[in-house]
Amino acid sequence: MYDIKTFNAIAPVGLARFNEENFTINKTEAPAGIILRSEKLHDYAFPASVLAVARAGAGTNNVPVKQCTEEGIVVFNTPGANANAVKELVIACLLLSVRPILKGSNWVQTLTGADTEEQAEAQKKQFAGTELEGKKLGVIGLGAIGAMVANDAYRLGMEVTGFDPFVSVDTAWSISRRVKRAQSMEEVLKTCDFITVHVPLSENTHHLIGKEQLKQMKKNAVLLNFARGELVETQAVIEALAQGEISNFVTDFADERLLHNDKILVLPHLGASTEEAEVNCAKMAARTLKKFLETGNIKRSVNFPTVEMAFNSPFRFTIIHRNVPNMLGQISTGIANLEINIDTMINRSRDDYAYTIVDIAETDEEKINAAAEKIQAAENIIRVRTIKNTEAVSY
């Protein structure tokens, strides 16, 4: 029986995937898994029982990923589950950036008298804008969201240029062939009228758009950031707007310094805040966490490699260890010395850590537990699990 601890309001349809035969929700102080949305876990004391954390969203900056890795806790996210919600908001804000729709709507509310319609008609020219058709959009980051933005912007009649040196094969297939691929970010900055950023936050992407990048942009350019606030250097944007180096900034991150500026549109982090996105993220997070706990298979982890193997043997060992030479020999020898036959074995590594799954043709639980203890005691081993095949597991 696995207990799942939840933070934040997780959509019930997602939690329903944890069947009552194998799971409980928030019933103990020793959970096997955690599922959360925005709760910050950097000061959270993880119980030794925690095997995995599933973030119902794409970003994991609220989870201490490095600490989890060192403790053998697998961290999952849900890439793409909220992509459509963010894409729709970005498209809406592209439209808002060229048409003063909000200002016009607010102004109409100030009208009084029986001739309201005539007043609105007479003054509407002050809210005239421009059109997106024919304008150039630069998309930095062609992941799930960036690819969708690029495709839909093209359908609106924009000329779209994308830049992502690490675009995946799956994403490449999903991007319209009419989206031009830039060879450098500088090319996007210098040639596009609108630039939208869709990359994950890391040490390499922190302040990806700063003073130097802003100076390369067109003076009439509009910058949009719906990915992570720290990707853009806030003070640099404020100064660039004041000096006329760019035209407008639109963001989903309410930094106090950005408020009360006519050239900045700030939203209250609405990107993934739709009913559909919350449900999709909850379902994907629950499904991934459930599969890992019951089979040991890893998919969509941000700190360990993808490792999946059909579970056909009576028992399975899953082993998190450091990525050093001779670990597989050490593991297999330890099992063989206890006269346990290995059915199948798979190993994958990611940076300094690795994950190994060993299926064993043995039903004697005493021998199995002894083997697990022997492996756990070995050098460079971080965590060993023994999983019993419950058969007919469905996802």
Note the pLDDT of residue 159: 97
Low-confidence ranges of the chain (pLDDT < 70): 169, 391-395
Per-residue confidence (pLDDT) for residue 392, from 0 to 100: 41
pLDDT of amino acid 358: 96
Torsion angle (degrees, nearest 10) of CA 37, 38, 44, 49: 10
Give span(s): CATH 3.40.50.720, the chain. 1-77+274-304, 83-107+129-266
Distance separating alpha carbons of residues 368 and 40, to the nearest angstrom: 38
1-77+274-304 has CATH 3.30.300.30 classification? no
Residue 125's pLDDT is 92
The residue type of 320 is: I
Question: What value does the CA radius of gyration of the chain take, rounded to a whole number of Å?
Answer: 26
Domain limits, CATH 3.30.70.260, in the chain: 306-394
What's the pLDDT score for residue 391? 65
Spell out a b/e string for 151-169, using b for 16 or more CB atoms within 10 Å of the CB, else e.
bbbbeeebbbbbbbeebee
Q: What are phi and psi of 101, to 5 degrees?
A: -65, -45
CATH topology of domain 306-394: Alpha-Beta Plaits (3.30.70)
Task: Measure CA 31 to chain center.
Answer: 23
Output the six-digit token pair for 206: 């922190």
Q: Dump pLDDT digits (tens) for 99-147.
A: 999 999 999 999 998 899 999 999 999 999 999 999 999 999 998 899 9
The 3 state secondary structure assigned to the chain is CEEEEECCCCCHHHHCCCCCCCEEECCCCCCCEEEECCCCCCCCCCCCCCCEEEECCCCCCCCCHHHHHHCCCEEECCCCCCHHHHHHHHHHHHHHHHCCHHHHHHHHCCCCCCCHHHHHHHHHHHHCCCCCCCCEEEEECCCHHHHHHHHHHHHCCCEEEEECCCCCHHHHHHCCCCCEECCCHHHHHHHCCEEEECCCCCCCCCCCECHHHHHHCCCCCEEEECCCHHHECHHHHHHHHHCCCCCEEEECCCCHHHCCCCCEEECCCCCCCCHHHHHHHHHHHHHHHHHHHHHCCECCECCCCCECCCCCCCEEEEEEEECCCCHHHHHHHHHHCCCCCEEEEEEEEECCEEEEEEEECCCCHHHHHHHHHHHHCCCCEEEEEEEECCCCCCC
User: What span, in angstroms and rounded, lies between the C-alpha atoms of 132 and 94?
Assistant: 8
End-to-end CA distance of the chain: 17
CATH of domain 83-107+129-266: 3.40.50.720
State the pLDDT at residue 268: 93
What is the per-residue pLDDT for 176?
A: 84
pLDDT tens per residue across span 30-73: 999 999 998 999 999 999 999 999 999 888 989 999 999 999 99
Cβ–Cβ < 8 Å for 34, 53: yes
CA 278 to chain centre: 13
Contact 55, 34 (CB under 8 A): no
Residue with tokens 């056909």: 312
Report the DSSP beta bridge partners of residue 388.
315
Question: Residue 6 has which token pair?
Answer: 């939840």
Closest CA to 8 of 77, 65, 57, 70: 57
CA distance linking residue 147 with residue 162, whole number of Å: 8
